[in-house]
Amino acid sequence: MAADPHNRSRIPSEEDEEDPVDAMISKTGCLEKHYAVQFCMADNKDWRKCQTEVKEFQNCITEYNRRKSK
């Protein structure tokens, strides 16, 4: 027998909802570079140590905007 589609006893978790920022960045093709910045910041606790990752993300977004404007 199929699960009751009207059963609302399951509480949605944070994992069920996509982060709107991730969704927006995913459309650019730069999501992995965005994650690299986030992981670097989490690991180092100092954005100045993540300049390579920040620059790569910035370049990716710039390239996306360039392609989009054509």
Burial of 57 (0-12, 13-18, 19+ CB in 10 A): buried
Q: Are 40 and 53 in contact (CB under 8 A)?
A: yes
Residue by residue, pLDDT tens for the chain (70 residues) are 555 555 555 555 556 677 899 999 999 999 999 999 999 999 999 989 999 999 999 999 999 999 999 8
> What is the separation of C-alpha 27 from the centre of its chain, rounded to a whole number of angstroms?
10
Full-model pTM: 0.72
